Amino acid sequence: MLTVGVVGAGGFIGRRTSEVFCQQNVAEVRPIVRTESSATKLTELGVNAHIADATNLSSLKQAFARCDVVIHCAAGSPWFIRKSAEITYQAAAQVGVKRLVYLSTASVHGQAPEPGTDERSALSDRQFPAYNNAKVQAEQTLLRLRKHGTTEVVIIRPGIVTGPGSIWVTGFVNALLAGTAYLGNQGTGICNSVYIDNLVEEIRLALTAPNADLQAFLAGDQETVTWANLYQPFANALGFDLEQLPNVECSNYQPTWKERLREGLRNTKFLGKVISLPFSKLKKAKDPQSPQQPPLNYEMAMLYNCQYKLPHRKAQEILGYEPIVSFAEGCDRTIKWLELKDYPVKR
């Protein structure tokens, strides 16, 4: 059986990946987290989590010892994204890990990709959102390191990851209850969704699929989903009329000066670590248990403007990927989870 290290196992994607792999006996899972508190939360999986800093070579090498595959799904600032990808590959290569599966994002193609976009499309690290650029640069770093290293690299690019615990769901639901929810462009834009278990299935296939080295794969649901499609089931479950929500037209949105300043600073590589600290502290200051629907900004405006469903044909052809959970079933499972979490679901 494979031994699989999961960097970022305390997060939404990492935790569910670890959980499914343990439940289905896919692999011997080694969760890797940043803090003792995150490790404690994973004890219910019946595995011991390793505490390591994803930007520290020595600590990662210890965590990766005797791992066959490492999955990197840790989130953070643009500086962290770039640095952790580089250090993770170096650590994996130095201890003999066979393959690194890196969770990138479909946003490397922009939040509103042009029709016809797929994995063959050229990437730019001159986009407005610093997050997009950092992910592009992380991918480029991994591919460069792979040319001189022994550890294979497989890149997965998920879109909007939904399901129990997704901030895209809980943020909207919390906003509904707080009276701050809204629609962009009446919810008509394409939401490139992927239910969490569909993403985990693609990750599972990427562990061992032949001919996957140095390849990137988009991950998505089978259905074409609009933002209204995504929000409607949760609005209904809580007794809200989606059509009564305030609507914001996004087609001509221009970034504010504050956004331009923030993203300009976050795009700065040399000052990235320093300026990432205030943003991370600000994020931690907010209640992590009550995320809110993001206010309208450039990123959200572009997401609401999207008119193109990204394809996952390449994942089907090379990995053998097929979504295992329908969009409707995924929404139903998420509503049941909301009910368990004491949200006022109406039956």
Domains and CATH numbers, the chain: 3-165+193-221+310-324 (3.40.50.720)
- DSSP H/E element including 72: strand 69-72
Q: What is the pLDDT of residue 290?
A: 73
| Of 111, 341, 338, 112, the residue nearest 233 (C-alpha) | 338
For the cut 80, the answer to whether the pLDDT of residue 284 exceeds it is: no
- DSSP H/E element including 152: strand 152-158
pLDDT in tens, 172-227: 999 999 999 999 999 999 999 999 999 999 999 999 999 999 999 999 999 999 99
pLDDT band at 245 (very low <50, low <70, confident <90, very high): very high
For the cut 60, the answer to whether the pLDDT of residue 235 exceeds it is: yes
Return the higher-pLDDT residue of 278 and 269: 269
For residue 269, the tally of other CB atoms under 10 A from its CB is 13
> Which residues fall within 8 angstroms of residue 212, CB to CB, at 6 or more apart?
152, 154, 206, 318, 319
For the cut 70, the answer to whether the pLDDT of residue 270 exceeds it is: no
For range 235-261, the mean pLDDT? 93
Asked if 195 and 164 touch (Cβ cutoff 8 Å), the reply is no
pTM for the structure as a whole: 0.94
For residue 27, the tally of other CB atoms under 10 A from its CB is 23
pLDDT in tens, 112-155: 999 999 999 999 999 999 999 999 999 999 999 999 999 999 99
For the chain, what is the mean pLDDT? 93
> Which residues fall within 8 angstroms of residue 309, CB to CB, at 6 or more apart?
190, 192, 220, 224
**Angle in degrees, CA 199, 184, 114, rounded to 5:** 60
For range 62-68, the mean pLDDT? 96
For range 321-346, the mean pLDDT? 96
Q: Which of 274-283, 290-299, 323-332 shows the lowest per-residue confidence on average (mean pLDDT)?
A: 274-283
For the cut 80, the answer to whether the pLDDT of residue 169 exceeds it is: yes
For the cut 60, the answer to whether the pLDDT of residue 43 exceeds it is: yes
In the chain, helix, strand, coil percent, each to 5?
A: 45, 15, 40
| Of 29, 28, 69, the residue nearest 152 (C-alpha) | 69
Share of the chain above pLDDT 70, in %: 94
Share of the chain above pLDDT 90, in %: 82
Asked if 226 and 189 touch (Cβ cutoff 8 Å), the reply is yes
For the cut 50, the answer to whether the pLDDT of residue 105 exceeds it is: yes
